[in-house]
Structure 1
Amino acid sequence: MAFRAYGEVQQRTAGPKEIELSLFRQITEALEAVAAAETPPLEAWADALYRNQQLWTIVATDLVNPDNTLPEETKRNLVSLSQFVRQCSNRVLAGNDGIADLIDINKSIIAGLSGIPVSTVTEEAA
């Protein structure tokens, strides 16, 4: 009961950046779980890819909103990245690619939202 109440308070007090960060972390963990599984069920693959694509679609939609205050160059770069994520997801679904690129992209976004230099993330991945 106390845990549920804490979760409700946390939901009410989390800002957009914290929510976005939490979603990227959850979805990236799902992608990593699928990648680590020896023979993941197709349903797990599809769900992880679908959730990731949903998130990136929401991000892209927010980026083109006139109220979005990010610098124009940042918005253009992130919209372009969302298009790459869509293309990469399609290649994964077609069996022509793995999901490592999607995981790396999400980790870079997580690092940016967390204030961690991207070079640190890429060094850890190597």
Structure 2
Amino acid sequence: MSIKAYQQTARRTENPREIEYRLFAQVTAALVEAQKTGKSDLHKLMDALDWNRRVWSALSLDCANPDNGLPAQLRASIISLSIFVSKHTSEIMREDEDIQDLIDINRLIMQGLNGE
């Protein structure tokens, strides 16, 4: 099966929550792998941190859109989390901060998306 056919099938069978869950699962797995190697594989760490920050930035931008259908309080919370993720990511990149907080946040979001 070609990648294009797979993507079309996935779009037809996954709802938006499932797509978001899958994205968070993938980026969180990358963060976990980067945590294992730490700064010994700086490229892997920076790639995972950048990917996570881009995911959160996209969520923030989406939540800032007045046409977003989520409740205002939930949108504000997501934007606040995005700001924290961005700041904490910068601290990890500059200093020796722990990546675990980002992993924990993503896992909590995954639980919410999964209805847990």
- TM-score w.r.t. the length of structure 2 is 0.89
Q: Give 5+ residue unaligned stretches, structure 1.
A: 117-126
- Return the offset for 1:13: 2.9
2:36 corresponds to which residue?
36
Is the 1:32–1:103 Cα contact (8 Å) retained in structure 2?
yes
1:90 corresponds to which residue?
90
Q: 1:98 to 1:38 in 2, by over 3 A?
A: closer
1:16 corresponds to which residue?
16
Is the 1:34–1:40 Cα contact (8 Å) retained in structure 2?
no
Distance 2:15 2:54 in 1: 20
2:11 counterpart letter in structure 1: Q
Give the number of aligned pairs.
Answer: 116
Aligned pairs for 1:1-126 within 5 A: 1=1, 5-6=5-6, 8-37=8-37, 40-116=40-116
Q: 1:66 to 1:3 in 2, by over 3 A?
A: closer
Higher relative contact order (CA 8 A, sep 6+): 2
- Return the offset for 1:15: 2.3
Which shifted more, 102-111 or 92-101?
Answer: 92-101
Q: 1:70 to 1:3 in 2, by over 3 A?
A: closer
Task: Considering fraction of residues, name the structure with more helix.
Answer: 2
- Segments ≥4 residues shifted beyond 6 Å: none
Describe the superposition over 1:64-103 as per-residue Cα deviations: whole angstroms up to 9, x where unpaired: 1112111111111110110000000000001230100000
SS of equivalent to 2:69: coil
Which shifted more, 55-64 or 13-22?
Answer: 13-22
Q: Give 5+ residue unaligned stretches, structure 2.
A: none
Distance 1:38 1:66 in 2: 39
CA RMSD, Structure 1 to Structure 2 (Å): 1.9
1:76 counterpart letter in structure 2: A
